[in-house]
Structure 1
Amino acid sequence: MPREFELVMPVPVPSRSGITHLYKSMHLADAFAIRLPAGASRDPDVLARFILSHQPSWIGWLMQVRDTIAACFGLKTARYLASLAHRVGIFRVYSTNRTEIVLGEDDKHLDFRISILCADEAEPEGSRQLVFSTVVHCHNRLGRAYIFVIAPFHRLVVKASLVRAARVGWPLATRPPAIQ
């Protein structure tokens, strides 16, 4: 694995996340953390949009392969999902607050949620931790087979997306307008 992947660390799904106890049974639950530099945005919506819009190009190719196969099973495709309202990329927005945005989708084979959680507290050097978590609940054998096949790709995509965002340069925090 590339050395840059050392910037991304596997961590438990944070207990303060809105997705931690969402499903009674989870067929996939993972989380990856990366440090945000001092001065980077703390807005989870801004960070989610940034991460998902700066993914490596090979992820687009992988999504095309996934869509071709998914369409054969009557599953929602990325093209269809991207055409819907209230989205960050292809993902529906379920909730947002000052530290976390929860994205995801429900389908006939599985439901999933993604959390982009930005630590409230800064480290001594001014950096903060961003945690990208995913939980999946499968409804049937198709869902379990699907998650078995895509889980390794999912983890690689999350790590590569976080590394790419760090390489491009995280968006800066916006400052409130000066008081006149």
Structure 2
Amino acid sequence: MTELRGSGISRRGLLGAFAATLVTAAPTYSNAAGFLRGGGDIRRIKMYSARTGERLDMIYWVEGDYIKDAVEEVHKFMRDWRTNDVKYIDLRAIDILAASHNLLDVPEPYMLLSGYRSPKTNAMLRARSSGVAKNSLHLKGQAADVSLKGRSVNQIAKAATACRAGGVGRYSSSNFVHMDCGAVRSWGR
């Protein structure tokens, strides 16, 4: 597939995004859902965890309905791997991840670095780094930190930003992008 000059977003992905903007998501719902509507009658999430060795390649939405068992698998996969605590992952966060992945038009899965974080894990990470928020959306199951081997931090962040559906943080020195379903904002380089 032809890649737009240096952006990491394919022509097919960009055309799909433009087509998807014609369909408006419900006012209280994530804009990412609008991007996904242009992609057909299914939504799919593909990730792996280097921490646990687990892989996830799952259709979690079909023809307007979330698949309960599939969504529960996503919750389990995105658990706090340090404590093994599982929390409900906000469906908007999953949709943002899937929509961004569709725009990037790559076959490889995301590498999940962090999904849900327990208060204990978040406190430990805050003690080690000034870049960890005290009230992180990871604590609410509303954020994920991901990377892709075949795309740069800037390319992934541009795709996530194009969804206009939540926060996007670039962590180039650590080679990952933070995506969340909170307020639309961006930070980092």
TM-based fold match above 0.5: no
The interval holding the TM-score normalised by the smaller chain is: 0.3 to 0.5
Query: Which structure features the higher share of strand residues?
Result: 1
Q: What TM-score results when the alignment is normalised by the length of structure 2? A: 0.32
